[in-house]
Amino acid sequence: MSIELNAGRVLADEDVVPDAQITVVLVRLPWVGAPEDHVKDLGGGEFEIVGEEKKGSSKYNALCGVGFSSGKEYFEVQVIEGSGAFIGVTTKAGFAEGYKIKGLFFGGPGNLSNGSAGLKTSFGEPVKKGSVIGVTLDLTDEATVGVSFWQGGTSIGEAFKGCPRQPGAMVFPAVCASKVHDRFVLSLRRSPPKEETKAPHPAEGCWDLQRLVVGGELVNLDAALAIKGKGKGRGYVDGDAAENKGHIIMSVNNRGGGHTFQLSMPLGNILNTTVQVTSTPDGTEMLQVGGVMSTMVMSPPPLMDLEQRLSRALPLITRWSIKDSRLELRGGDVELDFLHYDAPPEEPVADVTLP
């Protein structure tokens, strides 16, 4: 059940309950599965994946029977057990088994998906046990859906905007779980949590790689920059004009407000790693860089060579410094120098049509 308190108006989560007559409204939050026998509704908005484990990488999909059709709405799904789930919305017509589901989702390693395919990587942090994923719905246009996501009480941004739906069609909370015994609970809220406004860390943003030194050797970046192709962060040229070479961009994001940052570099593949920052008494910021994860695309040789060098070099970094528009990473015999890059804002996904 979801509980609403009404004292002339619906009370928000942060409101103090008045010393007066109030009305209590109970809302059932039933869950159904695809396939149906793999989802057990535990009541109170909670459900568990049950039954025999499927072979392969198939997933277990669940849909809440309480839907929305207009205005702006917000709900949260907490992961009680399990990891790698995708959380979002779908329609009754879009709800199906496995990868046949069609919807607007965030989850897994922190990516966006339409239910059957990935759409955007590194949108947020991996979804795991204890994660609380908030979903803000914009249904003010009867023919479209907009979705923004929250993670751990922090907004991670507008993910989907103006995605078409049948006029007035209802959308429903949905979860794509990974394994048997995964467990979740849904809560309806009046509004998203209020965020504290604070200045971003000076390293946050996008940075253009200018110089790379590994083992005392200056790495020539021209060959990688001259690879033709489209895509944010990939080097490319227009014709043979050297002045039109592209950029090798690293993005630095702190999504949780703590001391952990995510580094992402889209080349032929997308390189991702995390950085834990600690400050010394003299103000130096020391880094502990995790292992580098990468997508698995066959890149042209110059990009592949650079990806391999960066994958080996980044975990050796032990400190960074930021001054004006420059970011320097240092550690052992590795040096990386960047200039601040004013990247165009990433547009939300708009080309997913809900059936």
CA distances from 7 to 12, 21, 342 (A): 11, 7, 48
Rounded-to-integer distance, Cα 245 and Cα 233, Å: 11
Nearest to 311 by CA among 267, 254, 252: 267
Inter-residue contact 249 to 265 (CB < 8 Å) = yes
> How do residues 292-311 score in pLDDT, each as one tens digit?
998 888 888 888 899 999 99
Rounded-to-integer distance, Cα 74 and Cα 53, Å: 32
Residue-range domains of the chain with CATH = 2-189 (2.60.120.920), 205-341 (2.40.128.270)
**pLDDT at site 234:** 42
Q: Residues with Cβ < 8 Å from 225, sequence gap 6 or more?
A: 235, 236, 237, 245, 246, 247, 248
Residue 219 host element (H or E) = none
**pLDDT at site 239:** 40
Phi, psi for residue 308 in degrees, rounded to 5: -65, -40
Query: Model's pTM, two decimal places?
Result: 0.76
**Candidate from 134-138, 190-194, 229-233 with smallest mean pLDDT:** 229-233
**pLDDT at site 243:** 45
Rounded-to-integer distance, Cα 154 and Cα 165, Å: 28
> How do residues 271-297 score in pLDDT, each as one tens digit?
999 999 999 999 899 999 999 998 888
**pLDDT at site 256:** 65
**Candidate from 80-94, 107-121, 214-228 with smallest mean pLDDT:** 214-228
The answer to whether the peptide bond before residue 35 is cis (omega within 30 degrees of 0) is: yes
**pLDDT at site 93:** 96
What's the pLDDT band for 7 if we cut at 50, 70, 90? low
